Amino acid sequence: MVPLRSRLADGREILYFDEKPGRVPVPDPRPLPATEPLCETRRDPLTGDWVTVTAHRNTRTFLPPPDQCPLCPGGPASEVPDASYDVAVFENRFPSFSSRTPGVASTVDGQELFARAPGNGRCEVVCFTDDHDSSLALLPVSRVRTVIEAWAERTAALSAMPDIKQVYVFENRGVEIGVTLHHPHGQIYGYPFVTPRTERMLAMASAHQGDLFADVLAAEHAAGTRIIHRGEYWTAFVPAAARWPVEVHLMPHRHVPDLAGLTAAERDELAFVYSDLLRRCDALYDTPLPYVAAWHQAPVDARDLVRLHLQLFSVRRAQDKIKYLAGSESGMAAWINDVPPEDIARFLRNG
């Protein structure tokens, strides 16, 4: 799917992924100044991780009333000038990474131990629908298929940009997760580095004799106890060492490095399976499940070891309880899960 491109008042790009042709984009009437993001990364000498510092993001919009929602179409505060849309993608006004960020010194305080770099890259917002009160779980499968097309197109486009090392597609859903906007949407980050979790997966896959992801999938198929859905091209399962009270992985049956590499048939089945999975998650409790849906994709320069897969997880550990990342998880990155993975898999299968 080829998007229709336009520009917002401050020069940021907006793209429309329409299910029917014929749109003529409406000009953005807002008197916005040019964006001046201040993004930088600093390397932690004790772990090697890059930490991003973005002072401008502390002023971003936070849970506005519906009539001031920036993702609803055509309103006075709207980032989408048109009166309606199917799927819209635009550059984030408050990005964590941006190619527009100014240069910085290569060290902090002149200390070689504290490496520093500009936070180059790109951050985009993906609006799933113009309906403020909907959710990805409630949308028809055909719309989820359009969202997948947008994810795939933007993954390919961002991967081709010179400063970007890895593309991350994700959705934060629910105030318990920390969302700042209620409108159904996700985000795409183009990182200027390979993320710590992906570095760990690369190391584990490199040390493994054979295809690590294929072997994990085969072992889950053989066990069967944590499988939620097994289709022609995709399997959804709760991982044996799930970190979160609710955690599901959705993995293609063949090695695919990213969403852009999926065939049309794989995308068709993904739209159905993902819709079904989200509805099952929402049926666990009497309230919609807060979750992070994280699409793990291979780094731009390392395509053979990491297989595309979804990690969907929730902090809700019971109807009226939230799992907080406390001393062990936050302090030592040593996870403790109160809910057996097999139990969650059974609940989701029967949901």
Domain span at 274: 197-350
**Residues 203 and 103 reside in one and the same domain:** no
Q: Is 249 a catalytic residue?
A: no
Q: pTM of the entire structure?
A: 0.96
Write the DSSP assignment of 286-347 as a string of letters: SSPPPEEEEEE---TT--SSPPPEEEEEESEEETTEE----IIIIIH-----SS-HHHHHHH
- The Cα–Cα gap between 101 and 351 comes to 47
Q: Is there a single domain that holds both residue 307 and residue 164?
A: no
- Rounded CA-CA distance 169/310 in Å is 9
Look up the CATH number of the domain holding residue 109. 3.30.428.10
Catalytic residue among 183, 185, 249, 309: 185
What angle (nearest 5°) sits at the alpha carbon of residue 335, between those of residues 52 and 211? 80
Under the banding of pLDDT at 50, 70 and 90, the label for residue 35 is: confident
Instruction: Give pLDDT, residue 176.
Output: 92
Q: In this structure, are 267 and 154 located in the same domain?
A: no
Averaged pLDDT for residues 23-41: 92
Q: Band the pLDDT of 81: cuts 50, 70, 90.
A: very high
Per-residue pLDDT, 66? 84
Per residue in 127-154, pLDDT (tens digit) is 999 999 999 999 999 999 999 999 999 9
Number of domains in the chain: 2
Same domain for 168 and 310? Answer: no
User: Which of 163, 195, 227 is the last residue before a domain boundary?
Assistant: 195
DSSP state of 128: -
Share of the chain above pLDDT 70, in %: 100
- The arithmetic mean of pLDDT across residues 53-76, rounded, is 87
231-286 pLDDT, tens digit per residue, is: 999 999 999 999 999 999 999 999 999 999 999 999 999 999 999 999 999 999 98
| Residue ending a domain, choose from 127, 162, 195 | 195
Residues 100 and 77 in one domain: yes
- pLDDT score of 62: 80
Whole-angstrom distance, CA of residue 277 vs CA of residue 129:
19
